[in-house]
Structure 1
Amino acid sequence: MSFLTVEQIHHVYFTTLQATTALEDVSLSIEEGEFVSFLGPSGCGKTTLLSIIAGLLKPTFGVTKLDADPDYVEKKQDIGYMLQQDYLFPWKTIRENILLGLKLQKKQQIELELRALKLLNEIGLTNVESLYPNQLSGGMRQRVALVRTLATNPKILLLDEPFSALDYVTKLKLENLVFATLKNFNKTAILVTHDIGEAIAMSDRIFMFSAKPGRLYQTFIVPEELKTLAPFEARNHSLYSSLFQTIWKEFEGIEEHATKY
């Protein structure tokens, strides 16, 4: 049985003037420990689907299940969400920020707090616990956000373009760091991205969506030779270039179709 299942999701946004179908009959499944990407043009419903999986939106039709449980969204600790912005509280120290989720969920066990602080050191942030967010660089802040997300030990991580606001060098470094950290913890993760290269370098599978309305268009399986490599190394492999060209052609076809309607 798959770890996460998305079954016949259909979602419509209603306004006083019109109804817009964002997603139409989307079904997919993800295995435990798998890292997948949602890829597609703007307006194809990637973030809408992520919000439905997170329980932030209730679909017009369809159901999602985590570990065979359709009511998992009520257990907030099962889901970790990491966004483009780190959303750290500027008036709280780094220690207070990363432990905030534990306190909100009333999980103040000393072992969980020590685990979160240890992870902070493991990802290269030493002696920053007493600092404030404005004393850190953008890349460092995103690392803090990752630790905060992992602190509650969620079953699944949802990553909504978490590197898009960073400079390219920092982005590549964080790709490696996030990839290694999630593999080390055997975490299931979904990445929403517009970046074909990022999707290939980090994922086990890539779900490509078409727009107007958002539908699952095609699924790409990343070769085993790439899955075992860190993202930066994967980008230098010959199979990376081959898969990039394949996906690029499909992506162009989707965008050309979208401009006609």
Structure 2
Amino acid sequence: MSFLTVQDVQHIYFTKANATTALSDISLTVEEGEFISLLGPSGCGKTTLLSIISSLLKPTKGTILLEGQPVSTSKNEIGYMLQQDYLFPWKTIEENILIGLKLSNQLSKETRENAIDLLNQIGLSGVEKQLPKQLSGGMRQRVALVRTLATQPKLLMLDEPFSALDYQTKLKLEDLVSQTLETFGKTAILVTHDIGEAIAMSDRVYLLSPSPGRIHKTFEMPKELKRLSPFEARNHELYSDIFQMIWKELEYLEPEQE
């Protein structure tokens, strides 16, 4: 039994005027500890699929199981890291990282200490009493990661978490997030428009075609890249070949948007 199973998922958006099929016949599996990416043109349903997997959206058809159980029963076991950090500007960094623990009734002396320790581990020692406005964008995203990991979710959903950052900060955070998730043995699903990011961070990349969203191709990353940090992977000779391969497939899919 796979850690996460998505089986025959279809989703249709209904309005008074028409019905639009956003996703069709989506099936995939993710093993515990894997990092996968969902990649594809705008309108291919990446974020819709992420919302369905996280049980924020109920599919028109299909099943999603997390450790053999319907994902709708696993809300406290799924964490999110989004494009915006969504830190409360009037709360301190410490208060922000403890919000998830409070909402899920997990806050205790031990879980608070674990959250502060995690803050220290990712290079943010001593910022507990500061406000978000006192931190850089990259630092705030690290705080958002701590807030996500503090509740000890089994599955992390990453929805373009680096896209609002400058390139240098983005590369550093890719390494940091990848290393942190590997250290804690977390399973993650990344939605991204960035081919390089998907290649550098993932064990496997699912390329979706648009209108409706279907799995067009699956790219398994070679072991030579998997064992490297994202930054190192970007400099490996295989990286360019895989980039060109995925780029050509994306070019092939573009006319389908018209």
TM category, shorter: over 0.9
Q: Equivalent residue of 1:13, what SS?
A: strand
Please report how far the alpha carbon of residue 31 of structure 1 lies from its aligned counterpart in structure 2 after TM superposition: 0.4
Counterpart position of 1:89: 88
* 1:38 aligns to 2:42 (yes or no): no
2:119 match? 120
SS at match of 1:116: helix
How many Å separate the matches in 2 of 1:247 and 1:163?
20
1:218-248 deviation line (CA, Å, top 9, x unaligned): 1000000100111011000001111111111
SS of 1:169's equivalent in the other structure is helix
Moved more, 202-211 or 103-112: 103-112
The runs of 5 or more residues in structure 1 that have no matched partner are none
Letter in 1 for 2:240: S
Counterpart of 2:28 in structure 1 is 28
2:189 & 2:215 partners in 1: Cα distance?
15
The runs of 5 or more residues in structure 2 that have no matched partner are none
Tell me, yes or no, if the aligned pair for 2:6 and 2:27 is still in contact at 8 Å.
yes
Q: Report the RMSD for the aligned CA atoms in angstroms.
A: 0.8
Rounded to whole Å, the distance in 1 between the matches of 2:118 and 2:107 is 16
1:22-75 Cα distance to aligned partner (Å, 9 max, x none): 0001000000000000000000000000000111100000110000001x3333
Say if 2:240 is the partner of 1:255. Answer: no
Cα deviation, 1:97-127, whole Å, max 9, x if unaligned, reads: 0011111111122222111111101111111
Letter in 2 for 1:195: D
Q: Which residue of 2 aligns with 1:207?
A: 206
- Partner residue of 1:237? 236
Question: How do 1:71-220 and structure 2 match up within 5 A?
Answer: 72-220=71-219
1:45 and 1:177 mapped to 2: Cα distance?
28
- Tell me which amino acid in the other structure corresponds to 2:173: L
User: Using the alignment, how far apart are the partners of 2:175 and 2:168 within structure 1?
Assistant: 11
Distance in 2, Cα, partners of 1:76 & 1:62: 18
**Cα deviation 1:66-106 (Å, max 9, x = unaligned):** 00001x33332100011100000111110000011111111
Q: CA–CA distance in 1 between the matches of 2:13 and 2:186? A: 32
Alpha-carbon distance between aligned partners in 2 of 1:228 and 1:128, rounded to the nearest angstrom: 32
Instruction: Give, in whole Å, the separation in 1 of the partners of 2:45 and 2:220.
Output: 21
Residues 211, 256 of structure 2: 8 Å contact kept: no
Aligned AA for 1:96? E
* Partners of 2:77 and 2:100 in 1: CA distance: 12
* Shift of residue 16, structure 1, vs aligned partner: 1.3
**Larger mean Cα displacement after TM superposition, 61-70 or 106-115:** 106-115
SS at structure 2 position matched to 1:212: coil
- Give the Cα–Cα distance (whole angstroms) in 1 for the partners of residues 236 and 128 of structure 2: 38
Cα displacement (A) at 1:178: 0.3
Tell me the distance in 2 between the aligned counterparts of 1:47 and 1:108.
Answer: 30
SS in 2 for 1:65: strand
In the TM superposition, structure 1's runs of 4+ consecutive aligned residues that sit over 2 Å from their partners are 72-76, 256-259
Counterpart of 1:217, as a letter, is H
Query: How many residues are treated as equivalent by the alignment?
Result: 258
| In 2: Cα distance, 1:133 partner to 1:73 partner | 32
